[in-house]
Structures are given as C-alpha cells and as structure tokens.
C-alpha cells in the first residue's frame, strides 16, 4: 500500500532534509524514487497532479522492444528495451503479459522487408523473445485475426511482445519505493526551486489544502516529462528549451465492434507511412497511435477531429468493419517528451533519454520510454550517487513489483472470490491490477459487502473505489475512473452517472459533502469530455448524473 496522503505530508513538512527530491510521479519519477530508496537514500517524490496523470497513463500499453525503431537503426535502444521487457515479465508477472502480434503482408516486397526486420528484432533480443517470429500462411493469418477481409492479405508474420497497464506499473513501482522508505505525495506541485551547491530548497504547493511548504534535499531530480523545461526555468530562467512534445492519440472500441480474440495486429495506416497497433486490452480493443508535432498547451492535449479521422480511416482501410465515430468507446491523447534534435518530424526523433545538469544541485532527465524506465532511473541515480552518499550498485533488477508467485496468488484469490460469488473476469482483473494486494481489496469487499461491479457489466469491483481512496491516494473521482481503474478509457459512458456508484463510495470514504460529490462528478465529466475532444460518445448523457447522491 502506498499509505495515506496525510501521513506523507506530515513527513514531507517535518523539518528533516532528504537526500533526494524527485519531481514528477510518472514512470520515470517512480523508477528513480525506487532506485534511490533501494540504495539507501532518504527520498521524497512530489507529483503536481495525480500519479501517472501525465504521459504515463496515455501510452499504447506496450512493454516492448519497439519494432518500429529499427527503421531508424536504433539497435541499441531496441536491444535494451527487449532486455527490460523480459526482466519486467519476471518482476511484475501479473501486469506484464505476453501478447502475440500478427503483421499482415499483402505482397512479396512486404514479406521480404518485414522478414528481415523481425529477424533483426529476434537477434537483438538474443533470440530470447518469447518465441522467435514465424511466417503464417494466408489461412493461419485469417484465423489469428478473423476481422481481416478474405483475399486481401497474402499471409503474415507472428511475433511476441508484451502489454501492460501503464498506470498500474507506475503504482507498483511507487508502492515498492514507499516500502523502501520513500515519501510520496500527489497533488503537490513544485512552484519554486532555490538551488545551492550543497542542496536545493523546493517550494511545493498542495492543491488539496491550498497551502505551500518547503522541502529541502541534497539533490533534486526533475523527471517531469513534457514539463521538464518548466522545471528547468524555475532554477534557470534563461535555459534553452530541450523537449519537443509529440502528440499520440488512441481510440478504444468495445470488443463486439472490433472483435479481436487473443492476437494483436500491426496494421499499415491509410498512407502506409507508419504502422498502427490494434491491441485487445482489458475489455476493449485499442487502436493507435499517431505521432505529430504538438504546439498546443502541454496541460491539455486532446483528440482532435483530424486525429480521429486518421485512425478511423486507417482501421476501415484494413478491416471491413465500417466503424464510425459512434462506435468509439474511449479516446485519449498523450505527449511524448522527446528530446530536441535535428530530425524534421517528431516520428524521426530518438526515443533515447537524456540527463542534464540544471544547477549544481538539480539534475533533469527526459525522453525515453515506459519500457526502459528502470535503466533511465539507474543512469540518473548513478549520476547523483556520490552527492547523496549511496553506492552505484542498482538493485531494482531484483525487486519484485506486486507479486512473486502468480499461481499461488491466483489460487488464494480465486478461493475467496468464489465464496463471495465474484465473477472470474473480475477476479482476474483484481490480480492484474493489485498483485498480492488483491487480497486486501477482497477484504474490503467481504467486510463492506462490495463484491459487485462498480459499473454494471464492467470488471472493476465496487470495493476498489473504497480501497483506492483509502490505500492508493485516489483523491478525486477522476483518479479512480481514469487511472486506478481504466473505465474512462474503455467505457463509452466513462463510468459516469447513475450506472456508477463510484462517486458515492469514494465520497463516503473521503467524507465528501453532497456539494463536493456533485462537483467531483462534474469535474470528472469535464475532464473526460475535454480529453475525448472530437470523440464524445452519445452515451455520455448528462441526465445520467441526476441520481448520484451522497451517502
């Protein structure tokens, strides 16, 4: 468990100095906090909004080598990412799940090109990919991806990568950081930095109480993704800009609309200039992503008309499903924190990370990928190890994230869940989300009679609303519906309204007044509408909210 926010704030505001303050609670910051805390450093981490609310909740949900990066000859990156993928399968087996991909081909040229690429992909993983790739004949390809129209493909390649739930990965890493002594808090924004040679004082604004306080640390690491330049300017107003945000969007569909069973597909877009992923994920299928330079507000990326049209046209050009905007179940937009480079298009910019000194006691890190967060953390903690008095031996390659023995966990959870009459998919979802802590959620379900679904027909259970508010620092309704559970991404109604008891259960746990409860529902709705942008579904009907009430 990550602990309560109140307890974290008490520790942050106590007069003691920390060895390291990490700014940013996405995957990069979480990884740094765990790495440094497990080497023995006294670590604090503050996140301006909710944990993983930045890019780390908006990814394609892959833990992968990155087949696409071979086009740019990024052999080192692919090799490193493939090694990290394989390690993460061991460290977080409940969360990082192998998935077979089919790459359909329609002519000999494509077969030759992809065959060479996939051979290199296997070679860079030292032929330790889950299975080496193989060619599928036409019938096998059609059987693996039944929505492919007959006679359109000539065959395909089968290869393996992994998928995960990006927010849940961040939460597991943060929980381990806390177990190793780190103090973490969300809704705490760094608004000023006062760096000196022997340490730095950060002024932090608490968005929940409206107060500010100072945190002093020997070193500060800014792991703020696309906000990195903003942080750098707090310490050094004249610093040049380093990050170049690139926007990527995803659409999700109900499985009945885009029926993929177990296999994911890699499909060419309408212009055949890049490939799109079509991935069965939770109870939906997600399609993405785009890669476009983003000049807008970094706080509020959204899915625009053009993005939606591009992705829908791409799916419809490959699958004969005639999908329309009304079929979209969810949509989200994220910004890649790419490092400025010479390349003209953002798609050509490297996915490597970069570490830079901002001031004598402040270091920045940006770029990289979710998959390689552990290596990024190791590199930057090595960079400050001498200053904060820890060794250069990284320990995170051995620290389990969530569970050790999946089979025993499954048996234990299944036994208790069956007694409570919980559906099998809800039980599996609990294990996927919480690892060993699934038993803690079942305790809540049993004690408080909350074993039913949070929203009719969806996997998350009602008990999760209470558990996440109590034990995972979910402060707002949106934290629960968009991140701790992913209803806002896969449910056309985004978990809003009379179909959802989420607001009532959270409100009861956190002591919301009736007025606060309605404000939370409105804020969640506004956030989903803003992000879905051009993809608002008909099911997000305001009348649904009328029956929400305080308990």
Ligand X SMILES: Cc1cc2nc3c(=O)[nH]c(=O)nc-3n(C[C@H](O)[C@H](O)[C@H](O)COP(=O)(O)OP(=O)(O)OC[C@H]3O[C@@H](n4cnc5c(N)ncnc54)[C@H](O)[C@@H]3O)c2cc1C
Smallest gap from residue 276 Cβ to ligand X (A):
11
Does residue 58 touch ligand X according to CB under 6 A?
yes
Does residue 48 touch ligand X according to CB under 6 A?
yes
Q: Which two tokens stand for residue 338?
A: 């790419």
What are the helix (H) ranges across 389-461? Answer: 406-420, 424-434, 438-448
- Choice from 9, 54, 441, 483 touching ligand X (CB under 6 A): 54
Draw the binding track, 316-335, toward ligand X (x: CB under 6 A; -: no contact). Answer: ------------------xx
Report the alpha-carbon distance of residue 449 to residue 462 in Å, rounded.
9
Phi/psi of residue 143, nearest 5 degrees: -70, -35
- Choice from 12, 25, 167, 482 touching ligand X (CB under 6 A): 25
Nearer Cβ to ligand X (77/390): 77
Q: How many Å is the maximal CA-CA distance in the chain?
A: 71
Closest by CA to 208, choosing from 46, 339, 426, 394, is: 46
Q: Which two tokens stand for residue 146?
A: 């039944």
Smallest gap from residue 61 Cβ to ligand X (A):
6
Report the alpha-carbon distance of residue 47 to residue 281 in Å, rounded.
27
Does residue 282 touch ligand X according to CB under 6 A?
no
Q: Which two tokens stand for residue 440?
A: 């803690």
Write down how long the chain is: 551
- Choice from 43, 174, 215, 370 touching ligand X (CB under 6 A): 370
Does residue 278 touch ligand X according to CB under 6 A?
no
Does residue 289 touch ligand X according to CB under 6 A?
yes
Q: Interacting stretch for ligand X, rule CB under 6 A, among 23-31, 262-270, 386-394, 408-416?
A: 23-31
Coil/strand/helix, residue 364:
strand
Nearer Cβ to ligand X (88/503): 88
Nearer Cβ to ligand X (65/104): 65
Nearer Cβ to ligand X (323/376): 376
Name which of residues 176 to 205 contact ligand X (CB under 6 A).
Answer: 189-190
Does residue 426 touch ligand X according to CB under 6 A?
no
Name the one residue in this structure whose structure tokens are 């079509």: 278
Does residue 381 touch ligand X according to CB under 6 A?
no
Does residue 59 touch ligand X according to CB under 6 A?
yes
Q: Interacting stretch for ligand X, rule CB under 6 A, among 3-11, 369-377, 485-493, 521-529?
A: 369-377
Q: Interacting stretch for ligand X, rule CB under 6 A, among 58-66, 236-244, 304-312, 451-459?
A: 58-66
Does residue 301 touch ligand X according to CB under 6 A?
no
Does residue 94 touch ligand X according to CB under 6 A?
no
Nearer Cβ to ligand X (49/427): 49
What are the helix (H) ranges across 55-107? Answer: 75-91
390 near 36, Cβ under 8 Å?
Answer: yes
The β-bridge partners of 202 are 193, 215
Contacts with 62 (C-beta within 8 Å, 6 or more apart), sequence order: 161, 162, 163, 164, 277, 279, 371
Does residue 24 touch ligand X according to CB under 6 A?
yes
How many chain residues interact with ligand X (CB under 6 A)?
38
DSSP state string for 195-257: EETTEEEEEEEETTT--EEEEEEEEEEE--GGGHHHHHHHH-TTPPP-EEEEEEEEEEEETTT
Nearer Cβ to ligand X (349/466): 349
Does residue 49 touch ligand X according to CB under 6 A?
yes
337 near 245, Cβ under 8 Å?
Answer: yes
Does residue 368 touch ligand X according to CB under 6 A?
yes
Sign of the Cα pseudo-torsion (55, 57, 61, 65, in order): positive
Name which of residues 223 to 252 contact ligand X (CB under 6 A).
Answer: 223-227, 231, 248
Sign of the Cα pseudo-torsion (373, 375, 379, 385, in order): positive
> Which residues lie near ligand X (CB under 6 A)?
23-29, 46-49, 53-56, 58-62, 189-190, 223-227, 231, 248, 289, 334-337, 368-371
């Amino acid at each position: 468990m990550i602990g309560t926010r109140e307890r974290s704030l008490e520790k942050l505001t106590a007069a003691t100095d920390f060895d390291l303050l990490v700014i940013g609670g996405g995957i990069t910051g979480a990884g740094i906090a765990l790495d440094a805390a497990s080497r023995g450093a006294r670590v604090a981490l503050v996140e301006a909004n909710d944990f993983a609310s930045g890019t780390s909740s908006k990814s394609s949900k892959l833990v992968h080598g990155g087949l696409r990066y071979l086009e740019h000859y990024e052999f080192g990156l692919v090799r490193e990412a493939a090694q990290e993928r394989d390690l993460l399968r061991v460290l977080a087996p409940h969360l990082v799940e192998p998935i077979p991909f089919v790459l359909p081909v329609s002519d000999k040229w494509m077969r030759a090109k992809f065959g060479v690429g996939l051979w290199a992909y296997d070679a860079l993983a030292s032929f330790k990919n889950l299975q080496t790739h193989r060619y599928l004949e036409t019938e096998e390809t059609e059987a693996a991806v039944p929505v492919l129209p007959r006679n359109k493909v000539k065959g395909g390649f089968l290869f393996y990568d992994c998928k995960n739930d990006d927010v849940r990965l961040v939460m597991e890493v943060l929980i381990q950081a806390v177990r190793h002594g780190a103090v973490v808090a969300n809704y705490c924004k760094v608004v000023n930095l006062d760096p000196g040679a022997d340490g730095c004082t950060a002024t932090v604004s608490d968005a929940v109480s409206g107060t500010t306080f100072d945190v002093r640390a020997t070193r500060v690491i800014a792991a703020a993704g696309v906000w990195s330049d903003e942080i750098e300017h707090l310490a050094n107003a004249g610093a040049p800009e380093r990050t170049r945000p690139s926007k990527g969007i995803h659409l999700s569909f109900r499985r009945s609309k885009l029926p993929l069973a177990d296999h994911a597909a890699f499909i060419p877009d309408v212009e055949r200039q890049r490939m799109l992923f079509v991935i069965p994920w939770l109870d939906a299928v997600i399609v993405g992503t785009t890669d476009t330079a983003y000049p807008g507000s970094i706080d509020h990326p959204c899915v625009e008309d053009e993005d939606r049209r591009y992705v829908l046209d791409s799916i419809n050009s490959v699958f004969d499903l005639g999908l329309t905007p009304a079929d979209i179940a969810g949509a989200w937009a994220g910004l890649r924190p790419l490092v400025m480079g010479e390349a003209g298009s953002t798609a050509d910019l490297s996915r490597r990370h970069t570490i830079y000194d901002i001031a004598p006691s402040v270091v920045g890190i940006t770029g990289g990928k979710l998959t390689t967060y552990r290596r990024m953390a190791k590199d930057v903690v090595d960079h400050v190890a001498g200053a904060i008095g820890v060794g250069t031996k990284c320990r995170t390659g051995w620290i389990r994230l969530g569970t050790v023995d999946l089979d025993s966990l499954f048996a234990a959870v299944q036994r208790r869940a069956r007694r409570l009459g919980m559906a099998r998919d809800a039980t599996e979802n609990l294990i996927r989300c919480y690892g060993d802590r699934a038993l803690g959620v079942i305790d809540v379900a049993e004690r408080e009679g909350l074993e039913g679904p949070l929203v009719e027909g969806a996997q998350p259970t009602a008990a999760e609303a209470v558990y996440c508010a109590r034990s995972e620092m979910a402060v707002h309704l949106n934290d629960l519906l968009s991140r701790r559970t992913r209803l806002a991404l896969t449910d056309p109604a985004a978990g809003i309204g009379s179909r959802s008891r989420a607001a009532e259960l959270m409100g009861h746990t956190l002591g919301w007044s009736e007025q606060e409860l309605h404000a939370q529902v409105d804020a969640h709705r506004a956030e989903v509408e803003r992000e879905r942008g051009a993809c608002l579904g008909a099911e997000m009907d305001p009348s649904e909210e009328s029956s929400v009430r305080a308990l």
